[in-house]
Amino acid sequence: MYVVIVGGGEVGSYVARVLVEEGHDVAVIEADEDLARRLDASMNALVVPGSGVNPAVLQRAGLEQADLFLALTGSDEVNLIACMTGRKRGKEGLRTVARVRWAWQAPGDPALSADELGLEALISPRREIATETIHTLRYVGSGEVRELAGGKVVLVGMALGADSPLVHETLASVRRDFAKDFLIVAVQGHDGLRIPTGSDRLQADDRAFVMTLPGNVAELAILSGQPWSFVRRVLIVGCGNSGLAVARELEAQNLTPTIIEADRERAELVAGLLPRSLIIHGDGSDPDFLRGRIEEREIDAVVVLLKDAEMSVLIGIFAKSLGARKVIVRCDESGYVPLAHKLGVDAVLSPNRAMINAILRHVRRGKVEATLLLGDHEAEVLEFKIPEKPVNADLFEKPLKDIPFPPSVLVGAVVRGGEAIIASGTTVLQPGDELLVVCARESLGPVERLLC
């Protein structure tokens, strides 16, 4: 697929890197000439200096042959105009996706829809981040919780304690007692992410990605060997759009979050929008100030949603040391994630990653309903729908263990007739099934060919 990306900043360059890794042809348009030069030197993509709203620049980037057009600059206006221009001048069927931040929009204003603008999609990671935060707060254990297949399946990325049976037994042995409950689909260790087999045994400092049904998360929390706890009093540091969305959801659950916001104007604005919350204007990175608020409000969970990754992680580690039972931080710097986990941060959420997950859906439209990146893009979780009249008859009438999958591919769950089951070697597929497949990056192509 030929993809034109407008904007080579933090988001654009990250998305470009992932798409190049997946084997797509990528052109990046970047207005800042210095940055364009740096990208050109570091990336296996065509880098075109200039503005994404200039037709001549779009042409130089190969717009005529593009299948997908992504406008990912930090400016909503530039992104929307670039998409409209791209759509006008690109080939028939070009799909256009714009990143939007809605920074100019007061909360509660009606939002523009992609339809109105004639675009394929408007992507804003704030909602994904807010949803993921809420699920992660609700989960009794430690780790990131993501919903798959419309909430019928969840994927938990969890740390393991020294007592966890997953550390002391092979995965096959633990599975004998909990076969239908969950499946460990990936393991993040020192030397990267791997897709495990039944004979695998995990290390106490590994992180396990576990696919399970929403009703089974309590067992998972117990088996992780980490302490579990319920969260009632939540402190949010940084009330941008995601922070506001999280606070609103918590208020809807009759909770009363405490919010620390450094910008006075923003603090006053959100105070008017959040009747149940306590909004404090102050600096969350000031240790004494943070300690005071955690103690006086008897905080159980701290959610740090600052844009500055270093600051977010640092505040998170500090909050943990002050006794917060659950700490969730926003961090787009993937290099910090293992360190944050090691120092006690329960969950790390990345808007960039939420963005790429949303975009990959449009890259694979028609075949794959949703995608989730795992680790440092070593693997992905794909949501396939097997056609009612499938091309490949080899998939059926035999158990999964007899299907010749490419290496490092695991079917984690099957949704059939609206009901999800955790897959095992004996599961037999049927036409029309929805599959959640975990797949190492190098096997993505073969798996798509096998299942579509």
Residue 132 or residue 181: which is nearer to other proteins going by CB? 181
Q: How far is the CB of 326 from other proteins (least distance, A)?
A: 10
CB-side exposure of 65: number of CA atoms within 13 Å? 9
Q: 214 phi and psi, to 5 degrees?
A: -55, -30
Here's the x/- map for other proteins, 311-340, by CB under 8 A: it reads as: --------------x---------------
- Using rule CB under 8 A, residue 380 touches other proteins: no
**Shortest CB 165 distance to other proteins, Å:** 3
**CB closer to other proteins, 36 vs 420:** 420
In the complex, what is the shortest distance from the CB of residue 212 to other proteins, in angstroms, rounded to a whole number? 12
What's the rounded Cα separation, in Å, for the pair 394 and 386? 12
Q: Is residue 218 part of the contact set for other proteins (CB under 8 A)?
A: yes
- Rule CB under 8 A: choose which of 93, 110, 215, 275 binds other proteins: 215
Task: Note whether 225 binds other proteins by CB under 8 A.
Answer: yes
State which residue, 94 or 223, has the beta carbon closest to other proteins.
Answer: 223
Binders of other proteins among residues 241 to 300 (CB under 8 A) are none
Q: Does 421 engage in binding with other proteins (CB under 8 A)?
A: no
Please tell me whether residue 181 binds other proteins under the rule CB under 8 A: yes
- Specify whether the CB–CB gap between 421 and 413 falls below 8 A: yes
Asked if 3 contacts 24 with a C-beta cutoff of 8 angstroms, the reply is yes
Shortest distance in whole angstroms from residue 325 CB to other proteins = 6
Total chain residues near other proteins (CB under 8 A): 25
- Tell me which of 71, 119, 223, 422 binds other proteins, using CB under 8 A: 223
Task: Please give the C-alpha separations between residue 242 and each of 49, 107, 341, 429, in angstroms, as whole numbers.
Answer: 32, 12, 22, 39
Tell me the sheet residues that pair with 148. Answer: 153
Looking at residue 291, its amino acid is: R
Q: Residue 165, interface with other proteins (CB under 8 A)? A: yes
Q: Is 222 in the site for other proteins (CB under 8 A)?
A: yes
405 binds other proteins (CB under 8 A): no
Angle 125-138/351-363 helices, nearest 10 degrees?
A: 120
211 binds other proteins (CB under 8 A): no
Return the SS3 of 261: strand
Which 3 state secondary structure label does DSSP give 312?
A: helix
Q: How far apart are the first and last CA of the chain?
A: 17
Which residues lie below 8 Å from residue 62, measured CB to CB, with a gap of 6+?
A: 2, 4, 27, 46
Q: Nearest 5 degrees, angle CA 124-CA 125-CA 131?
A: 125
CB 100 within 8 A of CB 72: no
Unique residue bearing structure tokens 């997908």: 68
Residues 6+ apart with CB under 8 A from 261: 238, 239, 243, 267, 270, 279, 280, 281, 282
Please list, residue by residue across 401-410, b when 16 or more beta carbons sit within 10 angstroms of its beta carbon and e when fewer do.
eebebeebbb
Look at the block and give the residue holding tokens 């263990």.
401
* CB closer to other proteins out of 154 and 221: 221
* Residue among 220 and 438 whose Cβ is closer to other proteins: 220
Place of tokens 């069927």: 93
Which of these segments, 22-30, 58-66, 216-224, 443-451, binds other proteins (CB under 8 A)?
216-224
229 binds other proteins (CB under 8 A): yes
- Residue 419 found at the interface with other proteins (CB under 8 A): no
Query: Nearest distance from residue 209's CB to other proteins, in Å?
Result: 18
DSSP bridge pairs for 30: 49
Please pick, from the candidates 25, 40, 169, 205, the single residue that binds other proteins as defined by CB under 8 A.
169
In sequence order, what E strands does 274-346 have? 278-281, 301-304, 326-330
Nearer to other proteins, 229 or 430 (CB): 229
Print the binding letters for residues 109-148 with other proteins: x by CB under 8 A, - otherwise: -------------------------------x--------
- Rounded Cα distance between 207 and 73, Å, is 33
- Cα–Cα distance, 375 to 357 (Å, whole number): 13
Position 360 contacts other proteins (CB under 8 A): no
Q: Which is nearer to other proteins, 38 or 168 (CB)?
A: 168
Segment near other proteins (CB under 8 A); pick from 147-155, 168-176, 276-284, 345-353 = 168-176
Least gap, CB of 183 to other proteins (angstroms)? 15
Does 174 interact with other proteins (rule: CB under 8 A)? yes
Taking only Cα atoms into account, the Rg of the chain, rounded to an integer number of angstroms, comes to: 23
CB closer to other proteins, 23 vs 323: 323
Q: Confirm or reject binding of residue 216 to other proteins (CB under 8 A).
A: yes
Residue 129 in tokens: 């981040």
Of 215 and 417, nearer to other proteins (C-beta) is 215
Instruction: Find all residues with CB under 8 Å of 103, minimum gap 6, and list them.
Output: 76, 241
Query: Judged by CB under 8 A, does residue 230 bind other proteins?
Result: yes
Residues within the interface to other proteins (CB under 8 A):
140, 163-169, 174, 177-178, 181, 215-216, 218-219, 221-223, 225, 227-230, 325
